[in-house]
């Protein structure tokens, strides 16, 4: 089979070629050119095309670092198909250290957009036309919002068997079967028959080492599964992810100062105390409790709450929760920054 050049932003990328290109987006009003950086690695053999995108929300930085490490990884050689890495989709938001576009729209609610739409709609459309439309698969990297951390997790439409398989291959402890949001990159990708995983880990405007390592490893697992890279020697230990079909936030019933009793990845039962809310004078006014058994997959980090604030995001599982907690422990152990094999 004759392999063709891949054309992105007017650049031609030949089979076997690796190059960085700049995808021109709307200028700033200072007349400064703005480009979305794209790094393409093409194998010599035919195979699937996969994009990995980050910073669709401009303040979500873990994904930028995950892609930077993938590009720097000397052992990563794409032999078949194409890997298209886009570390900063909302490049305007990255400049402003903001989740949003300069027009205050959320890029991840602006898909599919159009070339004559709002600024957000134009960037969404550019990304769909130049990147997503070439790809059978995609991985979109996200983090929690500002002051909210997420346990490393994959969100995907598990009603599709191949998407479910890829979600498991990525190999983080928790998979959340999640509904599509109108206007998201994920929804627009599925409309183009691109299977897509959403990776959520850590919080905005911070690097979280565990989340970054789990993300790098997850992308490599998917590349290997799709036959795009040489199979590694030896068998790697993998974890069995747990799938949650539902999740919900536990909210504060009073305003005050928060003392956390439970943390990300902790297993909880119905009635487990999650945090105490105290007054400035010291007395505990309220104890926040879990309403159903599950695992804490997200939490807010500011130790101050107003009544009604979302505090803990809990995923509900059908499997035994103690096993979920063990799986999370296993991931922490294998990816911990200070982990030295054989050390106590």
Residues near Zn ion (CB under 5 A) are 57, 60, 142
DSSP state of 9: T
Q: How far is the CB of 65 from Zn ion (least distance, A)?
A: 15
Pick the closer one to Zn ion by CB: 174 or 274: 174
Tell me 340's DSSP state: -
Question: At its nearest, how many Å lie between Zn ion and the CB of residue 142?
Answer: 3
Pick 65 or 321: Cβ nearer Zn ion:
65
Least gap, CB of 199 to Zn ion (angstroms): 10
CA distance 334 to 344: 13
196: Cβ contacts below 8 Å, ≥ 6 apart: 137, 138, 139, 140, 156, 163, 185, 186, 189, 190
Contact (Cβ atoms closer than 8 angstroms) between residue 188 and residue 181: no
For residue 93, the number of C-alpha atoms closer than 13 Å in the C-beta half-sphere is: 28
Helices and strands in the chain: count of H runs, count of E runs: 7, 18
Q: Measured at the alpha carbon of residue 157, what is the angle toward residues 156 and 159, in degrees to the nearest 5?
A: 140
Minimum CB distance to Zn ion smaller for 62 or for 177: 62
Residue 57 or 122 with smaller CB distance to Zn ion: 57
Contact 258, 109 (CB under 8 A): no
Least distance (Å) from Zn ion to the CB of residue 59? Answer: 9
* Closest to Zn ion by CB, 42 or 148: 148
- Minimum distance between the CB of residue 202 and Zn ion, rounded to whole angstroms? 11
Residue nearest to Zn ion (CB): 142
Name the residue nearer to Zn ion (CB basis): 214 or 268. 214
Q: From the CB of residue 22, how many other CB atoms can be counted at a distance below 10 Å? A: 13
CB of 94 to Zn ion, least distance (A): 13
- CB under 8 Å to 259, separation ≥6 — which residues? 275, 276, 277, 278, 303
């Amino acid at each position: 089979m004759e392999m063709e050049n891949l054309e992105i932003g007017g650049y031609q990328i030949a089979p076997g070629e690796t190059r960085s290109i700049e995808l021109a987006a709307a200028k700033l009003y200072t007349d400064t050119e703005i480009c979305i950086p794209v790094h393409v690695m093409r194998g010599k053999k035919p195979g699937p095309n996969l994009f990995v995108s980050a910073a669709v929300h401009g303040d979500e930085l873990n994904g930028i670092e995950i892609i930077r490490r993938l590009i720097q990884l000397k052992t990563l050689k794409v032999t078949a198909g194409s890997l298209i890495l886009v570390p900063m989709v909302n490049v305007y938001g990255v400049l402003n250290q903001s989740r949003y576009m300069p027009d205050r729209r959320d890029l991840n609610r602006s898909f599919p957009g159009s070339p004559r739409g709002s600024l957000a709609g134009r960037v969404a459309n550019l990304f769909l036309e130049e990147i997503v439309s070439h790809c059978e698969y995609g991985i979109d990297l996200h983090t929690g919002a500002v002051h909210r951390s997420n346990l490393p997790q994959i969100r995907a439409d598990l009603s599709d068997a191949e998407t479910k398989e890829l979600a498991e291959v990525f190999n983080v402890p928790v998979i959340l079967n999640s509904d599509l949001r109108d206007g998201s990159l994920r929804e627009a990708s599925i409309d183009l028959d691109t299977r897509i995983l959403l990776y959520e880990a850590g919080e905005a405007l911070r690097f979280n080492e565990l989340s970054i390592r789990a993300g790098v490893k997850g992308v490599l697992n998917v590349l290997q599964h799709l036959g795009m890279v040489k199979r590694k020697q030896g068998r790697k230990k993998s974890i069995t992810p747990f799938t949650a079909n539902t999740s919900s936030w536990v909210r504060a019933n009073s305003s005050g100062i928060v003392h956390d009793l439970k943390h990300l990845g902790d297993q909880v039962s119905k009635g487990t105390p999650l945090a105490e809310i105290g007054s400035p004078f010291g007395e505990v006014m309220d104890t926040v409790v879990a309403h159903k058994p599950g695992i804490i997959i997200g939490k807010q980090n500011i130790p101050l709450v107003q009544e009604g604030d979302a505090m803990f995001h809990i995923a509900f599982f059908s499997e035994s929760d103690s096993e979920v907690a063990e799986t999370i422990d296993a991931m922490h152990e294998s990816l911990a920054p200070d982990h030295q094999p054989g050390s106590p």
